[in-house]
Chains A and B, each alone.
Chain A
Amino acid sequence: MLDVIIIGAGPAGLSAAIECRKNDLNTLVVDEFPKLGGRLLGQLHQEPTGEWWNGIEEAKKLVDEAQRLNTDIRTGISVHHVAKVDDHFVVHTNDGKFEATNVLIATGAAETAVPVPGWTLPGVMSIGAAQVMTNVHRVKVGERGVIVGVNVLSAAIAHELKLGGVDIHSMVLPSKNVISADQAEPYAVMERLSRIAHLAPSAFIRFGSKFAKSPIVQKLAVKLYPKNGITMFDIPIHLRKAIVSINGTEQVESVTIAKVTPEGDIIPNSEEVVNVDFVCIAGGLYPLAELAAVMGCEFKYVEELGGHVPVHSEAMETAVDGLFVAGNITGIESAKVARSQGTVAGLSIAKRMTNDVSLDRQLDRAMQNVKTTRDNATIQFHPHIYRGRERVKAAYNRITETKE
């Protein structure tokens, strides 16, 4: 019987593993991706200080530390079910069953799809797919492409593609329907960009600060949005153009783009066809919590955190005894926050296993560190993250109070 199985070897899972191993717990980390580091691997952006955040290097630091502590980490393992049996868990994988006293689910996030006519053609991929291909595998996804969806994540990755030598024709909005909703409304997109601009790196600050001043300025900016877009990292960003369709027979050959009103409605007869060989879809991220759902965790819908999140405490415990969560499964935030949450989860698990009171102080400090990291985050996906976190905490307290 293992002390703990950690599902996911990203920043949260690895930093949790490090704490578990420091406390001599019998630990197994599994991940289905062949390389360790999760989504952290693909990240590459400049901090406001000018320093580069290189995900491959950051991941290596965590992996090295975990390996120094002799952590058993296995790749190529997919977990398809977790069940609680008496006082322990059985984790079902493609490599057989594993039993453990504790489970940490650190499965991160999945990308929210924004369906576009023609998006099943080869050459269309999620923005995260292009990021991994470019920075991790070092392969160009195409020669010239269009990015659909304007948000923090897509702007950062557009720049990364450019650094990899891939030409980005432009960034445009998805066309408006019930699914794309406010991601297709120029006013809403501008407002979101302005709200987060002060938190985002270099070029984004310059983009946002022009419009951050007041809603009136933002509205005016959308109304008078320049025909050729506003360029950031030499990439034209269009808030008044949307994609109508992706065209091709065997793969992407072109896209049809149309002008839209400030509300996002297509202006008739404004379509143009642009020849591109790839398209990236950027609809944002949502917590990937399917294993917590099959475990019977209670959920809370929290828009600020990216969707449905398993209810958990600040110490990263769920209401299921012995089941912990950390990282983007608890809400969409930066890798640094995920990493600090992993430390909290690792210490919580160690505390449950060893009853060592000296861990209490470490745990308090680690929980404080999550907040400090959040305050200092340069990339923030939602401006009201604290409000979202408070709602989850309150839900957790309600559950545990009724239990007692």
Chain B
Amino acid sequence: MKNTIVCRCEEVTLEQLEQTAKQFNCSPRELKLRTRAGMGFCGGRTCRPAVDKVLLNVTDLRPSDNVPLKVQPPVRPISLSSLGGAIDDK
């Protein structure tokens, strides 16, 4: 089960996540920053529940009411011009 990619966007594996979480006793944010899991193109929509589970397992915690990884806008990737207020041509 070595090369199970968890985060498809950044190609981060289960092993990398578990190792990093154990080694640094990571908070969700730290795990994300160290591995880049959930920081790729999709914004973590695909791997978020999986990354949460890896972390909960390592820290042996129960899920809390707070969303583990802070959700920040934009929740869809957008071009810089669009962020500046321009309308995408379709």
* B75 adjacent to chain A (CB < 8 Å): yes
Is A117 part of the binding interface, using a Cβ–Cβ cutoff of 8 Å?
Answer: yes
Residues of A within 8 Å of B26, CB to CB, are none
Given A177-B14, A178-B57, A299-B67, A113 and B47 touching (CB < 8 A)?
Answer: yes
Contact with A along B42-86 (1 / 0, CB 8 A): 010111011001100100000111110011111110100010010
Nearest chain B CB to A318 CB, angstrom units: 14
- Cβ–Cβ contact A179 & B71, under 8 A: no
A115 to B75: give the CA distance in the assembly, Å. Answer: 23
> Is A213 in the interface zone, CB < 8 Å from B?
no
Which single member of A78, A112, A178 contacts B76 (CB below 8 Å)? Answer: A78
- Proximity string of chain A (143-176) to chain B, C-beta cutoff 8 Å, 1 when within and 0 when not: 0000000000000000000000000000000010
B5 contacts A119, C-beta separation under 8 Å = yes
A294 within 8 A of B: yes
Decide if A290 touches B45 in the complex (CB within 8 Å). yes
Which of A110, A113, A300 has the largest number of chain B CB atoms within 10 A? A113
Over the window 106-118 of chain A, the binary record of Cβ atoms lying under 8 Å from chain B Cβ atoms (1 yes, 0 no) is 0000101111110
Q: Smallest Cβ distance from A12 to chain B, in angstroms?
A: 18
| Contact call A115/B76, Cβ cutoff below 8 A | no
Interface size on B, residues (CB 8 A): 37
Given the complex of chains A and B, what is the CA–CA distance between A303 and B62 in angstroms?
Answer: 11
Residues of chain A in range 39-84 having any CB-CB distance to chain B below 8 Å: 76, 78-81, 83
**Stretch of A88-96, A203-211, A343-351 lying at the B interface:** A88-96
State which residues 320-378 of A face B: CB under 8 Å.
Answer: none
A81 CB contact (under 8 Å) in B65, B67, B74, B87? B74
Taking CB atoms, residues of chain B closer than 8 Å to A299 are 65-67
Given A81-B73, A97-B85, A113-B47, decide whether A178 and B66 contact each other with a Cβ distance below 8 A: no
Distance of A80 Cα from B64 Cα, bound (Å): 26
| A94: chain B residues within 8 A (beta carbon) | 76, 78, 82, 87-88
A286: Cβ under 8 A from any B Cβ: yes
B87's partner among A96, A120, A289 (CB-CB below 8 A) is A96
A53 to chain B, nearest CB (A): 27
Identify which of residues 5-58 in chain B touch chain A, using a CB-to-CB cut-off of 8 Å.
Answer: 5-6, 8, 11, 14, 18, 43, 45-47, 49-50, 53-54, 57
A290–B48 alpha-carbon span in the complex (Å): 11
Residue of B nearest to A96 (CB): B87
Q: Check B1 against A177 for contact (C-beta < 8 Å).
A: yes
Q: Are A179 and B14 in contact (CB under 8 A)?
A: yes
Q: Could you say which of A97, A179, A301, A303 contacts B53, with CB atoms under 8 Å apart?
A: A179
A323 to chain B, nearest CB (A): 15
What's the Cα separation between A286 and B53 when bound, in Å? 14
Q: How far is the CA of A254 from the CA of B75 in the complex (A)?
A: 35
B46 smallest CB distance to A (angstroms): 5
Task: Determine the distance from Cα of A151 to Cα of B50 in the docked complex, in whole angstroms.
Answer: 18
Question: In the complex, are the beta carbons of B72 and A294 less than 8 A apart?
Answer: yes
A198 within 8 Å of B (CB atoms): no
In the bound complex, what is the Cα–Cα distance between A120 and B67 (angstroms)? 26
Contact B65 A307 (CB under 8 A): no
A204 to B62, CA, bound (A): 32
Best-surrounded residue of A79, A83, A177, A288 (most CB of chain B within 10 A)? A177
Given contacts A94-B82, A175-B1, A179-B6, contact A115 B50 (CB under 8 A): yes
Residues of B within 8 A of A291 (CB): 75
Contact across chains for B74 and A95 when beta carbons are under 8 A apart: no
Closest A residue to B73 using CB positions: A81
Instruction: Check A294 against B1 for contact (C-beta < 8 Å).
Output: no
Which residues of chain A have a CB within 8 Å of any CB of chain B? 76, 78-81, 83, 92, 94-97, 110, 112-117, 119-120, 175, 177-179, 181, 286, 288-291, 293-294, 298-301, 303, 307-308, 395
Closest CB pairs A-B (n = 3) = A80-B74, A81-B73, A293-B71
Q: List 6 A-B contacts (CB under 8 A).
A: A79-B75, A80-B78, A94-B88, A114-B50, A294-B73, A308-B65
